[in-house]
Amino acid sequence: MKNRLHDISDELNEISLKDLNQSVSEYEKKYNVTIAIQPISSNNDEFNGALRDSLNQKKVTLNKFWVTEDTIHRVKEGKKVSKIYDQGKLKSSFLVDFIEKDQHFILIGVSIVYLSEAVKIVNQFTISIMILLILILISMVWIWSKKITDPLKELKDISKEIAKLDFRKVDIHTNDEIEELAESINEMSEKLQVAHEDLNERNANLKRFISDITHELKTPLALIKAYSVGIQDGIDDGTYVETILKQTDQINHLIDELLALSRIERETLHIQEVDFIHLVNRCIQNYEIELNRSDITIHLDQNDIQQVFVEADLGQMERVINNLLSNAIKYTENNKIFISYKESEKEYLFHIENNTKFNNPERLQNVWEPFYVMEASRNKNMSGTGLGLAIVRSILNRHHLRHEVSLINGKIRFTIHFSKKYKEKPHL
Protein backbone atom coordinates (compact mmCIF):
# COMPACT_ATOMS: atom_id res chain seq x y z
CA MET A 1 0.00 0.00 0.00
CA LYS A 2 2.89 2.28 0.95
CA ASN A 3 4.67 1.58 -2.33
CA ARG A 4 1.52 2.19 -4.28
CA LEU A 5 1.04 5.47 -2.51
CA HIS A 6 4.64 6.44 -3.28
CA ASP A 7 4.09 5.70 -6.95
CA ILE A 8 0.92 7.77 -6.95
CA SER A 9 2.58 10.71 -5.18
CA ASP A 10 5.50 10.52 -7.64
CA GLU A 11 3.09 10.73 -10.51
CA LEU A 12 1.17 13.60 -8.94
CA ASN A 13 4.41 15.42 -8.29
CA GLU A 14 4.91 15.68 -12.03
CA ILE A 15 1.63 17.52 -12.46
CA SER A 16 1.47 21.30 -12.06
CA LEU A 17 -0.40 22.69 -9.06
CA LYS A 18 -2.88 24.39 -11.32
CA ASP A 19 -3.75 21.16 -13.14
CA LEU A 20 -3.91 19.31 -9.90
CA ASN A 21 -6.21 21.92 -8.34
CA GLN A 22 -8.51 21.78 -11.33
CA SER A 23 -8.93 18.05 -11.44
CA VAL A 24 -8.45 16.87 -7.86
CA SER A 25 -11.58 14.76 -7.86
CA GLU A 26 -10.63 13.08 -11.14
CA TYR A 27 -7.23 12.09 -9.75
CA GLU A 28 -8.84 10.95 -6.55
CA LYS A 29 -11.16 8.74 -8.52
CA LYS A 30 -8.37 7.51 -10.81
CA TYR A 31 -6.01 6.47 -8.01
CA ASN A 32 -8.67 5.78 -5.38
CA VAL A 33 -7.02 8.08 -2.87
CA THR A 34 -7.88 11.25 -0.98
CA ILE A 35 -6.03 14.37 -2.07
CA ALA A 36 -5.98 17.54 0.04
CA ILE A 37 -4.14 20.71 -1.04
CA GLN A 38 -3.41 23.35 1.55
CA PRO A 39 -1.20 26.46 1.33
CA ILE A 40 1.52 26.30 3.93
CA SER A 41 0.85 28.74 6.71
CA SER A 42 3.12 29.87 9.49
CA ASN A 43 0.61 28.98 12.16
CA ASN A 44 0.80 25.26 12.61
CA ASP A 45 -2.53 25.00 14.49
CA GLU A 46 -4.37 26.88 11.77
CA PHE A 47 -2.69 24.81 9.11
CA ASN A 48 -3.68 21.53 10.74
CA GLY A 49 -7.22 22.79 11.32
CA ALA A 50 -7.58 23.83 7.68
CA LEU A 51 -6.15 20.53 6.47
CA ARG A 52 -8.49 18.55 8.68
CA ASP A 53 -11.46 20.63 7.45
CA SER A 54 -10.62 19.93 3.86
CA LEU A 55 -10.35 16.23 4.71
CA ASN A 56 -13.68 16.41 6.51
CA GLN A 57 -15.22 17.91 3.41
CA LYS A 58 -14.09 14.83 1.59
CA LYS A 59 -15.81 12.69 4.27
CA VAL A 60 -12.55 11.59 5.77
CA THR A 61 -12.90 12.06 9.50
CA LEU A 62 -9.77 11.34 11.45
CA ASN A 63 -9.62 11.38 15.22
CA LYS A 64 -5.85 11.29 15.30
CA PHE A 65 -4.27 13.53 12.76
CA TRP A 66 -1.61 16.11 13.28
CA VAL A 67 1.09 17.31 10.95
CA THR A 68 4.05 18.24 13.08
CA GLU A 69 6.24 21.21 12.42
CA ASP A 70 9.11 18.89 11.73
CA THR A 71 7.10 17.21 9.01
CA ILE A 72 6.15 20.53 7.46
CA HIS A 73 9.74 21.56 7.62
CA ARG A 74 10.94 18.43 5.85
CA VAL A 75 8.26 18.68 3.20
CA LYS A 76 9.16 22.30 2.63
CA GLU A 77 12.70 21.16 1.91
CA GLY A 78 11.24 19.22 -1.02
CA LYS A 79 11.34 15.85 0.64
CA LYS A 80 8.52 13.41 0.32
CA VAL A 81 7.29 12.40 3.75
CA SER A 82 5.22 9.33 4.51
CA LYS A 83 3.17 9.00 7.65
CA ILE A 84 0.72 6.56 9.04
CA TYR A 85 -1.93 7.78 11.45
CA ASP A 86 -3.40 5.03 13.53
CA GLN A 87 -7.09 5.72 14.08
CA GLY A 88 -7.30 3.54 17.20
CA LYS A 89 -10.92 2.75 17.91
CA LEU A 90 -11.90 3.12 14.25
CA LYS A 91 -9.79 0.00 13.64
CA SER A 92 -8.09 1.60 10.67
CA SER A 93 -5.05 3.66 9.74
CA PHE A 94 -4.66 6.61 7.47
CA LEU A 95 -1.59 6.28 5.29
CA VAL A 96 -0.38 9.53 3.79
CA ASP A 97 2.34 10.94 1.60
CA PHE A 98 3.09 14.64 1.91
CA ILE A 99 4.63 16.54 -0.94
CA GLU A 100 5.18 20.23 -1.46
CA LYS A 101 4.36 22.17 -4.60
CA ASP A 102 4.55 25.95 -5.02
CA GLN A 103 4.21 26.71 -1.33
CA HIS A 104 1.33 24.28 -1.15
CA PHE A 105 1.21 21.25 1.00
CA ILE A 106 -0.29 18.26 -0.84
CA LEU A 107 -1.65 15.33 1.11
CA ILE A 108 -2.25 12.05 -0.68
CA GLY A 109 -3.87 9.62 1.70
CA VAL A 110 -5.48 6.30 1.76
CA SER A 111 -7.40 4.66 4.56
CA ILE A 112 -6.43 1.10 5.38
CA VAL A 113 -8.46 -1.17 7.60
CA TYR A 114 -6.46 -2.95 10.28
CA LEU A 115 -5.18 -5.98 8.44
CA SER A 116 -4.73 -8.02 11.60
CA GLU A 117 -8.36 -7.30 12.54
CA ALA A 118 -9.51 -8.27 9.11
CA VAL A 119 -7.36 -11.40 9.17
CA LYS A 120 -8.73 -12.22 12.61
CA ILE A 121 -12.29 -11.84 11.43
CA VAL A 122 -11.60 -13.86 8.29
CA ASN A 123 -9.85 -16.53 10.37
CA GLN A 124 -12.72 -16.68 12.83
CA PHE A 125 -15.16 -16.88 9.99
CA THR A 126 -13.15 -19.60 8.26
CA ILE A 127 -12.85 -21.62 11.45
CA SER A 128 -16.58 -21.33 12.15
CA ILE A 129 -17.37 -22.29 8.58
CA MET A 130 -14.95 -25.22 8.80
CA ILE A 131 -16.47 -26.43 12.08
CA LEU A 132 -19.94 -26.08 10.59
CA LEU A 133 -18.87 -27.94 7.46
CA ILE A 134 -17.26 -30.72 9.50
CA LEU A 135 -20.44 -31.02 11.58
CA ILE A 136 -22.58 -31.09 8.45
CA LEU A 137 -20.21 -33.64 6.93
CA ILE A 138 -20.28 -35.85 10.03
CA SER A 139 -24.06 -35.71 10.24
CA MET A 140 -24.38 -36.44 6.53
CA VAL A 141 -22.04 -39.40 6.79
CA TRP A 142 -24.02 -40.61 9.79
CA ILE A 143 -27.36 -40.17 8.05
CA TRP A 144 -26.11 -41.84 4.87
CA SER A 145 -24.50 -44.72 6.66
CA LYS A 146 -27.71 -45.20 8.66
CA LYS A 147 -29.71 -45.00 5.47
CA ILE A 148 -27.59 -47.74 3.92
CA THR A 149 -26.65 -49.93 6.85
CA ASP A 150 -30.08 -50.09 8.51
CA PRO A 151 -31.89 -51.45 5.45
CA LEU A 152 -28.98 -53.81 4.79
CA LYS A 153 -29.23 -55.11 8.32
CA GLU A 154 -32.95 -55.58 7.85
CA LEU A 155 -32.30 -57.47 4.61
CA LYS A 156 -29.75 -59.67 6.39
CA ASP A 157 -32.30 -60.47 9.13
CA ILE A 158 -35.04 -61.24 6.64
CA SER A 159 -32.72 -63.54 4.66
CA LYS A 160 -31.95 -65.44 7.84
CA GLU A 161 -35.64 -65.78 8.58
CA ILE A 162 -36.37 -66.97 5.05
CA ALA A 163 -33.63 -69.55 5.52
CA LYS A 164 -35.60 -70.74 8.56
CA LEU A 165 -38.70 -71.01 6.32
CA ASP A 166 -40.34 -67.97 7.88
CA PHE A 167 -41.43 -66.20 4.72
CA ARG A 168 -41.70 -62.61 5.90
CA LYS A 169 -41.49 -59.47 3.79
CA VAL A 170 -39.46 -56.29 4.24
CA ASP A 171 -40.81 -52.78 3.90
CA ILE A 172 -37.93 -50.68 2.62
CA HIS A 173 -38.41 -47.42 0.71
CA THR A 174 -34.98 -45.99 0.00
CA ASN A 175 -35.63 -45.22 -3.63
CA ASP A 176 -32.38 -46.84 -4.71
CA GLU A 177 -30.80 -50.20 -5.46
CA ILE A 178 -31.44 -51.35 -1.87
CA GLU A 179 -35.17 -50.91 -2.40
CA GLU A 180 -34.89 -52.91 -5.63
CA LEU A 181 -32.99 -55.61 -3.76
CA ALA A 182 -35.68 -55.62 -1.05
CA GLU A 183 -38.36 -55.99 -3.70
CA SER A 184 -36.50 -58.92 -5.26
CA ILE A 185 -36.13 -60.56 -1.84
CA ASN A 186 -39.85 -60.03 -1.18
CA GLU A 187 -40.68 -61.58 -4.52
CA MET A 188 -38.33 -64.47 -3.82
CA SER A 189 -39.88 -64.93 -0.36
CA GLU A 190 -43.37 -64.96 -1.87
CA LYS A 191 -42.42 -67.51 -4.53
CA LEU A 192 -40.58 -69.66 -2.02
CA GLN A 193 -43.62 -69.60 0.23
CA VAL A 194 -45.89 -70.68 -2.61
CA ALA A 195 -43.42 -73.40 -3.62
CA HIS A 196 -43.05 -74.50 -0.01
CA GLU A 197 -46.80 -74.68 0.56
CA ASP A 198 -47.22 -76.48 -2.74
CA LEU A 199 -44.54 -78.96 -1.74
CA ASN A 200 -46.18 -79.50 1.65
CA GLU A 201 -49.54 -80.03 0.00
CA ARG A 202 -48.04 -82.47 -2.51
CA ASN A 203 -46.34 -84.29 0.34
CA ALA A 204 -49.61 -84.60 2.22
CA ASN A 205 -51.37 -85.72 -0.97
CA LEU A 206 -48.69 -88.28 -1.63
CA LYS A 207 -49.01 -89.68 1.88
CA ARG A 208 -52.77 -89.91 1.52
CA PHE A 209 -52.39 -91.39 -1.93
CA ILE A 210 -50.04 -94.11 -0.68
CA SER A 211 -52.30 -94.97 2.22
CA ASP A 212 -55.27 -95.09 -0.19
CA ILE A 213 -53.36 -97.42 -2.53
CA THR A 214 -52.45 -99.66 0.37
CA HIS A 215 -56.06 -99.74 1.45
CA GLU A 216 -57.32 -100.43 -2.09
CA LEU A 217 -54.85 -103.30 -2.45
CA LYS A 218 -55.52 -104.75 0.96
CA THR A 219 -59.22 -105.41 0.36
CA PRO A 220 -58.86 -107.68 -2.71
CA LEU A 221 -55.74 -109.30 -1.22
CA ALA A 222 -57.63 -110.16 1.96
CA LEU A 223 -60.42 -111.65 -0.16
CA ILE A 224 -57.93 -113.65 -2.23
CA LYS A 225 -56.40 -114.98 0.96
CA ALA A 226 -59.76 -115.85 2.52
CA TYR A 227 -60.99 -117.67 -0.58
CA SER A 228 -57.63 -119.48 -0.99
CA VAL A 229 -57.89 -120.72 2.60
CA GLY A 230 -61.48 -121.79 1.82
CA ILE A 231 -60.22 -123.87 -1.11
CA GLN A 232 -57.48 -125.33 1.10
CA ASP A 233 -60.06 -126.28 3.70
CA GLY A 234 -62.24 -127.90 1.02
CA ILE A 235 -65.24 -125.60 1.50
CA ASP A 236 -65.15 -124.28 -2.06
CA ASP A 237 -68.67 -124.24 -3.54
CA GLY A 238 -67.21 -123.95 -7.07
CA THR A 239 -67.21 -120.11 -7.17
CA TYR A 240 -64.07 -119.47 -5.12
CA VAL A 241 -61.59 -119.55 -8.02
CA GLU A 242 -63.81 -117.16 -9.95
CA THR A 243 -63.84 -114.74 -7.03
CA ILE A 244 -60.07 -114.99 -6.69
CA LEU A 245 -59.66 -114.28 -10.41
CA LYS A 246 -62.03 -111.31 -10.15
CA GLN A 247 -60.02 -109.87 -7.29
CA THR A 248 -56.75 -110.43 -9.18
CA ASP A 249 -58.24 -108.60 -12.15
CA GLN A 250 -59.19 -105.75 -9.87
CA ILE A 251 -55.65 -105.52 -8.51
CA ASN A 252 -54.35 -105.62 -12.08
CA HIS A 253 -56.74 -102.87 -13.13
CA LEU A 254 -55.74 -100.77 -10.14
CA ILE A 255 -52.05 -101.13 -10.95
CA ASP A 256 -52.70 -100.27 -14.61
CA GLU A 257 -54.56 -97.14 -13.59
CA LEU A 258 -51.86 -96.15 -11.11
CA LEU A 259 -49.21 -96.57 -13.76
CA ALA A 260 -51.32 -94.52 -16.16
CA LEU A 261 -51.71 -91.75 -13.60
CA SER A 262 -48.00 -91.54 -12.88
CA ARG A 263 -47.16 -91.78 -16.59
CA ILE A 264 -49.47 -88.86 -17.40
CA GLU A 265 -47.47 -86.63 -15.08
CA ARG A 266 -44.16 -87.55 -16.71
CA GLU A 267 -45.06 -88.40 -20.30
CA THR A 268 -43.96 -85.94 -22.97
CA LEU A 269 -46.99 -84.45 -24.64
CA HIS A 270 -47.30 -84.90 -28.38
CA ILE A 271 -49.16 -81.71 -29.06
CA GLN A 272 -51.23 -81.38 -32.20
CA GLU A 273 -54.38 -79.63 -33.24
CA VAL A 274 -57.35 -81.73 -32.29
CA ASP A 275 -60.97 -81.19 -33.24
CA PHE A 276 -62.60 -81.93 -29.91
CA ILE A 277 -66.14 -82.41 -31.30
CA HIS A 278 -64.88 -84.88 -33.86
CA LEU A 279 -62.97 -86.78 -31.15
CA VAL A 280 -66.00 -86.94 -28.82
CA ASN A 281 -68.16 -88.31 -31.64
CA ARG A 282 -65.56 -90.97 -32.38
CA CYS A 283 -65.40 -92.02 -28.71
CA ILE A 284 -69.22 -92.21 -28.53
CA GLN A 285 -69.15 -94.57 -31.52
CA ASN A 286 -66.78 -96.85 -29.62
CA TYR A 287 -69.31 -97.12 -26.82
CA GLU A 288 -72.19 -97.84 -29.21
CA ILE A 289 -72.53 -101.53 -28.33
CA GLU A 290 -72.45 -100.87 -24.60
CA LEU A 291 -74.94 -98.02 -24.94
CA ASN A 292 -77.35 -100.26 -26.87
CA ARG A 293 -76.92 -103.09 -24.40
CA SER A 294 -77.65 -100.87 -21.41
CA ASP A 295 -80.37 -99.01 -23.32
CA ILE A 296 -78.71 -95.65 -22.66
CA THR A 297 -79.32 -92.73 -25.00
CA ILE A 298 -77.01 -89.81 -25.54
CA HIS A 299 -78.66 -86.45 -26.23
CA LEU A 300 -76.21 -84.42 -28.26
CA ASP A 301 -76.69 -80.68 -28.71
CA GLN A 302 -73.98 -79.03 -30.82
CA ASN A 303 -75.73 -75.64 -30.93
CA ASP A 304 -74.57 -75.17 -34.53
CA ILE A 305 -70.96 -75.40 -33.44
CA GLN A 306 -69.15 -77.47 -36.05
CA GLN A 307 -65.60 -77.63 -34.77
CA VAL A 308 -63.76 -76.91 -31.53
CA PHE A 309 -60.01 -76.90 -32.02
CA VAL A 310 -57.54 -77.42 -29.24
CA GLU A 311 -53.79 -77.94 -29.16
CA ALA A 312 -53.46 -81.15 -27.24
CA ASP A 313 -52.06 -84.66 -27.01
CA LEU A 314 -54.60 -86.74 -28.95
CA GLY A 315 -54.15 -89.90 -26.84
CA GLN A 316 -54.57 -88.07 -23.55
CA MET A 317 -57.60 -86.15 -24.80
CA GLU A 318 -59.17 -89.43 -25.82
CA ARG A 319 -58.57 -90.72 -22.34
CA VAL A 320 -60.34 -87.70 -20.82
CA ILE A 321 -63.42 -88.22 -23.01
CA ASN A 322 -63.49 -91.98 -22.39
CA ASN A 323 -63.29 -91.50 -18.62
CA LEU A 324 -66.09 -88.91 -18.62
CA LEU A 325 -68.22 -91.01 -20.96
CA SER A 326 -67.69 -94.26 -19.07
CA ASN A 327 -68.59 -92.51 -15.80
CA ALA A 328 -71.75 -91.07 -17.31
CA ILE A 329 -72.70 -94.51 -18.65
CA LYS A 330 -71.90 -96.19 -15.33
CA TYR A 331 -73.57 -93.69 -13.01
CA THR A 332 -76.56 -92.27 -14.92
CA GLU A 333 -79.76 -92.73 -12.94
CA ASN A 334 -82.22 -92.57 -15.84
CA ASN A 335 -80.31 -94.04 -18.78
CA LYS A 336 -79.82 -90.61 -20.29
CA ILE A 337 -76.63 -88.70 -21.01
CA PHE A 338 -76.60 -85.08 -22.19
CA ILE A 339 -73.68 -83.75 -24.18
CA SER A 340 -73.77 -80.12 -25.31
CA TYR A 341 -71.50 -77.40 -26.67
CA LYS A 342 -71.91 -73.72 -25.92
CA GLU A 343 -70.20 -70.67 -27.28
CA SER A 344 -69.31 -67.44 -25.52
CA GLU A 345 -67.31 -64.47 -26.72
CA LYS A 346 -63.95 -65.95 -25.84
CA GLU A 347 -64.47 -69.67 -25.49
CA TYR A 348 -66.32 -72.85 -26.28
CA LEU A 349 -67.79 -74.95 -23.49
CA PHE A 350 -68.17 -78.70 -23.49
CA HIS A 351 -70.76 -80.14 -21.07
CA ILE A 352 -71.43 -83.76 -20.26
CA GLU A 353 -74.17 -84.41 -17.71
CA ASN A 354 -76.36 -87.16 -16.32
CA ASN A 355 -78.89 -87.55 -13.51
CA THR A 356 -77.49 -88.41 -10.11
CA LYS A 357 -78.81 -89.01 -6.60
CA PHE A 358 -75.75 -87.29 -5.22
CA ASN A 359 -76.83 -83.99 -3.69
CA ASN A 360 -74.02 -82.80 -1.49
CA PRO A 361 -72.41 -79.83 -3.29
CA GLU A 362 -69.75 -79.42 -0.57
CA ARG A 363 -68.30 -82.85 -1.20
CA LEU A 364 -68.69 -82.59 -4.95
CA GLN A 365 -65.12 -81.41 -5.58
CA ASN A 366 -63.85 -84.59 -3.94
CA VAL A 367 -64.68 -86.51 -7.12
CA TRP A 368 -61.35 -85.27 -8.54
CA GLU A 369 -59.41 -86.91 -5.70
CA PRO A 370 -57.84 -90.32 -6.31
CA PHE A 371 -59.85 -93.25 -4.88
CA TYR A 372 -62.81 -91.04 -4.04
CA VAL A 373 -66.02 -92.92 -4.62
CA MET A 374 -69.42 -91.41 -3.88
CA GLU A 375 -71.58 -93.25 -1.42
CA ALA A 376 -74.39 -93.62 -3.98
CA SER A 377 -72.20 -95.39 -6.50
CA ARG A 378 -70.36 -97.42 -3.85
CA ASN A 379 -73.67 -98.88 -2.75
CA LYS A 380 -74.48 -99.85 -6.27
CA ASN A 381 -71.12 -101.57 -6.34
CA MET A 382 -70.29 -100.33 -9.77
CA SER A 383 -67.48 -97.89 -9.04
CA GLY A 384 -64.03 -98.76 -10.27
CA THR A 385 -60.74 -97.76 -8.71
CA GLY A 386 -61.73 -94.13 -8.21
CA LEU A 387 -58.78 -92.98 -10.31
CA GLY A 388 -60.63 -92.05 -13.51
CA LEU A 389 -61.38 -88.41 -12.65
CA ALA A 390 -57.97 -87.93 -11.00
CA ILE A 391 -56.48 -88.88 -14.37
CA VAL A 392 -58.89 -86.49 -16.15
CA ARG A 393 -57.89 -83.64 -13.86
CA SER A 394 -54.20 -84.37 -14.26
CA ILE A 395 -54.44 -84.36 -18.08
CA LEU A 396 -56.55 -81.20 -18.26
CA ASN A 397 -54.20 -79.40 -15.88
CA ARG A 398 -51.23 -80.35 -18.00
CA HIS A 399 -53.01 -78.91 -21.02
CA HIS A 400 -54.00 -75.77 -19.08
CA LEU A 401 -57.65 -76.42 -19.86
CA ARG A 402 -60.06 -74.98 -17.30
CA HIS A 403 -62.62 -77.54 -16.10
CA GLU A 404 -65.17 -77.95 -13.36
CA VAL A 405 -67.90 -80.16 -11.94
CA SER A 406 -71.25 -78.82 -10.78
CA LEU A 407 -74.66 -80.01 -9.63
CA ILE A 408 -77.62 -78.58 -11.57
CA ASN A 409 -81.21 -79.71 -11.02
CA GLY A 410 -80.33 -83.22 -9.92
CA LYS A 411 -77.74 -83.57 -12.65
CA ILE A 412 -73.99 -83.81 -12.31
CA ARG A 413 -72.27 -81.75 -14.98
CA PHE A 414 -68.64 -81.87 -16.09
CA THR A 415 -67.46 -78.84 -18.10
CA ILE A 416 -64.29 -78.17 -20.10
CA HIS A 417 -63.41 -74.68 -21.40
CA PHE A 418 -61.66 -74.20 -24.74
CA SER A 419 -60.16 -70.91 -25.79
CA LYS A 420 -61.41 -69.67 -29.16
CA LYS A 421 -58.01 -68.79 -30.56
CA TYR A 422 -57.95 -71.89 -32.82
CA LYS A 423 -61.37 -71.15 -34.30
CA GLU A 424 -60.15 -70.19 -37.77
CA LYS A 425 -57.69 -73.09 -38.13
CA PRO A 426 -58.54 -75.90 -40.54
CA HIS A 427 -59.53 -79.35 -39.43
CA LEU A 428 -56.60 -81.78 -39.18
Ligand X SMILES: Nc1ncnc2c1ncn2[C@@H]1O[C@H](COP(=O)(O)OP(=O)(O)OP(=O)(O)O)[C@@H](O)[C@H]1O
Residues that bind ligand X (CB under 6 A): 257, 323, 327-328, 331, 354, 356, 358, 367, 372-374, 377, 383-390, 412
Specify the long-range contacts of residues 44-52, CB closer than 8 Å, at least 24 apart: 44/68, 44/69, 44/72, 47/72, 47/105, 51/105, 51/107
By beta-carbon proximity to Mg ion, the closer residue of 99 and 389 is 389
Provide, rounded to whole angstroms, the least separation between the CB of residue 348 and ligand X: 21
Residue 109 binding result from Mg ion, ligand X, none, given CB thresholds of 5 to 8 Å by partner type: none
DSSP symbol at 173 = -
Number of residues that bind Mg ion (CB under 5 A): 2
Distance in Å, CB of 347 to ligand X, minimum? 23
Pick what 189 binds: Mg ion, ligand X, none; C-beta below 5 to 8 Å, kind-dependent.
Answer: none
Judge whether 123 and 138 are in contact, CB under 8 Å: no
Q: Determine the Cα–Cα distance for residues 27 and 58; give it in Å rounded to an integer.
A: 14
Return the residue nearest Mg ion (CB atom): 388
Nearer to ligand X by Cβ, of 247 and 356: the residue is 356
In the complex, minimum distance from the CB of residue 287 to ligand X, in angstroms, rounded to a whole number: 14
Site string for Mg ion, 307-336 (x = CB under 5 A): --------------------x---------
171: nearest Cα among 157, 187, 144, 151: 151
Q: What residue spans of 233-274 are helical by DSSP H? A: 240-266
Judged by beta carbon, residue 158 or residue 405, the one nearer ligand X is: 405
Least distance in angstroms from the C-beta of 174 to Mg ion = 58
Cβ-proximal residue to ligand X, closest one:
384
Rounded to 10 deg, the angle between the 314-331 and 388-398 helix axes is: 150
Q: Work out whether 377 is an interface residue with Mg ion (CB under 5 A).
A: no
Q: Please check whether residue 83 is in contact with residue 57, taking contact to mean a CB–CB distance below 8 angstroms.
A: no
Q: Which is closer to ligand X, CB of 92 or CB of 316?
A: 316
Angle at 129 between CA 127 and CA 130, to 5 degrees: 60
Output the smallest distance, CB 419 to ligand X, in A: 25
Residues facing 337 on adjacent strands: 298, 354
Work out what residue 373 binds among ligand X, Mg ion, none; the CB cut-off runs from 5 to 8 Å by kind.
ligand X
Contacting residues for 40 by C-beta, under 8 A, at least 6 apart: 47, 72, 76, 100, 103, 104, 105
HSE of 332, CA atoms in CB hemisphere, 13 A: 21
Strands 297-301 and 336-343: parallel
Cβ proximity to ligand X: between 93 and 385 the closer is 385
Task: Indicate the residue among 374 and 395 with the shorter CB distance to ligand X.
Answer: 374
Nearer to ligand X, 287 or 331 (CB): 331
Any residues with CB less than 8 A from the CB of 422 and at least 6 apart, and which? Answer: 273, 309, 310, 311
Query: Pick from ligand X, Mg ion, none: which does 100 bind, CB < 5 to 8 A by kind?
Result: none
Q: At closest approach, how far in Å is the CB of 330 from Mg ion?
A: 7
Nearest distance in Å: CB 374, ligand X? 3
User: Which among Mg ion, ligand X, none contacts residue 356 (Cβ within 5 to 8 A by kind)?
Assistant: ligand X
Q: Are 395 and 412 in contact (CB under 8 A)?
A: no
Least separation in angstroms between residue 258's CB and ligand X is: 10
* Amino acid letter, residue 141: V
Q: Among 109, 151, 370, 388, which residue sits at the site for Mg ion (rule: CB under 5 A)? A: 388
What residue ranges bind Mg ion (CB under 5 A)? 327, 388
